[in-house]
Amino acid sequence: MMRSCLLWLLALSLCSTEACRTNRKVQSSMKTTVFGKLRDGREVHQYTLTNKAGMVAQIIDYGATVTSLLVPDRNGKIEDVVLGYDSVQGYVDGTAYLGALVGRYGNRIGKGRFQLDGKEYQLTINDGENHLHGGKIGFNKVLWEAKPDGGSGEPSLVLQYVSRDGEEGYPGTVVLNVRYTLTNKNEMRIEYEGTTNRATILNPTQHSYFNLSGSFTKTILNHQLMIEADDMTPVDKGLIPTGRIASIANTPFDFRNLTAIGARIDDSDEQLIYGRGYDHNWVLRNGHGEVRKAAELYEPASGRLMTVLTNQPGLQFYTGNFLDGSAKGKNGIAYGHRTGLCLEAQAFPDTPNRPEFGSVTLRPGQRYGQTTIYQFSTRQRSKENRT
């Protein structure tokens, strides 16, 4: 409760409703505080980034995790739009990857096995018979080294993690740098750069759960979504891609126009039954490595609009189907079924076992690069002409 009150006071001091309505600027800044301690005594720090428009992002160095994102609605009211916890222990014990940076491989690898240069590697199994989001101790469960950087006039935080050879079964020592920048265009810009000392695979992603209503007691079913994709990758019962690329036309997966998420989520579709809702990879258009628009997410009541841009080939849309109210989040709120959604930019799931999906191999001398942007704006009611 104390942390939530401080967040509210922070938002109020940075941007009152009247200040936001009149577009009054505040000074961009970054502040560092101690968020808590791990069981071994190491401190976890929280970095508060504020841009000139008054938007605020808070990030901790445990898991390179986004803990809160304060964004105005159409009336200038600032509210938090990402699920999270009030304490370090919530993130240590949590199993839903709330706000975390996941890897080495975001998403699933079938049976945790893959071959590289003629050698088979066995990764940690942590999702049924499969490997998910880097294993039992992935990037979300380690302390990163953080370095604030505000030299550009826009607050920026660089986090680095060195993943040692053999960690969770992965070959090679990988050095991954992730830069979070809160731009003055109300964007949370995430840039990744990775290197390795021997051939490996790498596919990190950001796993924030969004609820643009500003209330974590509400579901995301009335949010409207558009994805820049004509196809998706169907999965089996274990949510591992079958290898097919399937058209979304005339299916519940057609989000080529803004569509309410709840409109078809409970249809008697085999893929929806497998995922208990949406938990699938969309094949983004123009997947040639350039940053382009991947999706739009709109919440009609608040008017908040989030645009996702990325240079990745795929986007995982997940509707919080495994949230069951057992985990207590901010203010002690129990995060119920479908109270948050993820839009994760990525290479396709199980790509190491599906050469038809491309390659996620990183070799010495090469650099892994990814850019993903979550851009926030608002839409007035008079412009709500799509359903």
Q: Taking Cα atoms as reference points, which of 329, 335, 328 lies closest to residue 219? A: 335
Residue with the larger pLDDT of the pair 287 and 144: 144
The confidence score (pLDDT) of residue 151 equals 66
CA geometry: angle 47, 310, 152, nearest 5 deg:
45
207 catalytic per annotation: yes
Which of 79, 296, 299, 344 is an active site residue? 344
Two domains, one topology: 2-207 and 224-360: yes
Residue 226 near residue 306 (C-beta atoms within 8 A):
no
Residue 209 near residue 340 (C-beta atoms within 8 A):
yes
The confidence score (pLDDT) of residue 24 equals 52
Q: Taking Cα atoms as reference points, which of 215, 208, 241 lies closest to residue 355? A: 241
Which of 207, 228, 280, 299 is an active site residue? 207
| 69 pLDDT higher than 80 | yes
| 68 pLDDT higher than 80 | yes
The confidence score (pLDDT) of residue 19 equals 41
| 219 pLDDT higher than 60 | yes
CA atoms of 94 and 85, how far apart (whole Å):
9
Structure tokens at 151: 């030299």
| 8 pLDDT higher than 60 | no
Average pLDDT, the chain: 92
Domain boundaries, the chain: 2-207, 224-360
Which string of b and e fits 169-178 if b means at least 16 CB within 10 Å? bbbbbbebbb
352-371 pLDDT, tens digit per residue, is 999 999 999 999 999 999 99
Q: 2-207 maps to which CATH number?
A: 2.70.98.10
Do strands 131-132 and 56-60 pair parallel, antiparallel, or not at all (unpaired)? unpaired
| 338 pLDDT higher than 90 | yes
User: Average pLDDT for residues 46-60, to the nearest whole number?
Assistant: 96
Residue 329 near residue 339 (C-beta atoms within 8 A):
no
User: Average pLDDT for residues 194-218, to the nearest whole number?
Assistant: 98
Reported confidence tier of residue 382, pLDDT bands at 50, 70, 90: low
Residue 319 near residue 261 (C-beta atoms within 8 A):
yes
Residue with the larger pLDDT of the pair 14 and 39: 39
The confidence score (pLDDT) of residue 25 equals 59
The confidence score (pLDDT) of residue 179 equals 98
The confidence score (pLDDT) of residue 1 equals 43
| 377 pLDDT higher than 50 | yes
Do strands 314-318 and 145-149 pair parallel, antiparallel, or not at all (unpaired)? unpaired
Reported confidence tier of residue 212, pLDDT bands at 50, 70, 90: very high
The confidence score (pLDDT) of residue 370 equals 98
- The topology (CATH level 3) of 224-360 is Beta-galactosidase; Chain A, domain 5 (2.70.98)
CA atoms of 282 and 356, how far apart (whole Å):
15
133 catalytic per annotation: no
**Non-local CB neighbours of 104 within 8 Å, separated by 6+ positions:** 134, 138, 139, 163, 167, 168, 170, 174, 200, 201, 202, 203, 204
| 244 pLDDT higher than 60 | yes
| 18 pLDDT higher than 90 | no
Q: State which amino acid sits at residue 133.
A: H
The confidence score (pLDDT) of residue 6 equals 47
| 37 pLDDT higher than 70 | yes
Residue 48 near residue 6 (C-beta atoms within 8 A):
no
Residue 129 near residue 237 (C-beta atoms within 8 A):
no
The confidence score (pLDDT) of residue 387 equals 34
The confidence score (pLDDT) of residue 95 equals 95
Tokens 């007035």 locate to 380
Highest mean pLDDT among 49-53, 172-176, 378-382: 172-176
